[in-house]
Amino acid sequence: MAWLVLIVSGGLEAVWATALSRSEGFSRPVPAGVFVVALIASMVGLGYAMRTLPVGTAYAVWVGIGAALTAAIAMVSGEESASAVRILLLLGLVGCVVGLKLAH
């Protein structure tokens, strides 16, 4: 259960990071609200997962998932350019996250 919560929390990290960017310095209320809710939910989930998973593993998985999804969202939305090298590097990051799960 901790792994599932951790994965969802990593996804929520991408949600709050994207919402933070789109809030334009908290001047847009809807993205700012999404940021606050997703941030709290993501942190609560990370904290829950850390009750049973080692802190280093949990944090690395949470950050890895969040970073990969945030970059993917930015590439899909056109906010950042996509290239074969960037996509391969993000896939490598996801592979490392999977490796941490398998090594646990």
3-state secondary structure (DSSP) of residue 56: helix
Residue from 20, 96, 26, 36 nearest 62 by CA: 96
Predicted confidence at residue 101, as pLDDT, reads: 85
Q: How many domains does the chain have?
A: 1
pLDDT per residue as tens digits for the range 53-104: 999 999 999 999 999 999 999 999 999 999 999 999 999 999 998 898 888 7
* Residue numbers of the domain that contains 99: 2-103
* Length reported for the chain: 104
Predicted confidence at residue 100, as pLDDT, reads: 85
Predicted confidence at residue 14, as pLDDT, reads: 97
pLDDT per residue as tens digits for the range 10-34: 999 999 999 999 999 999 999 999 9
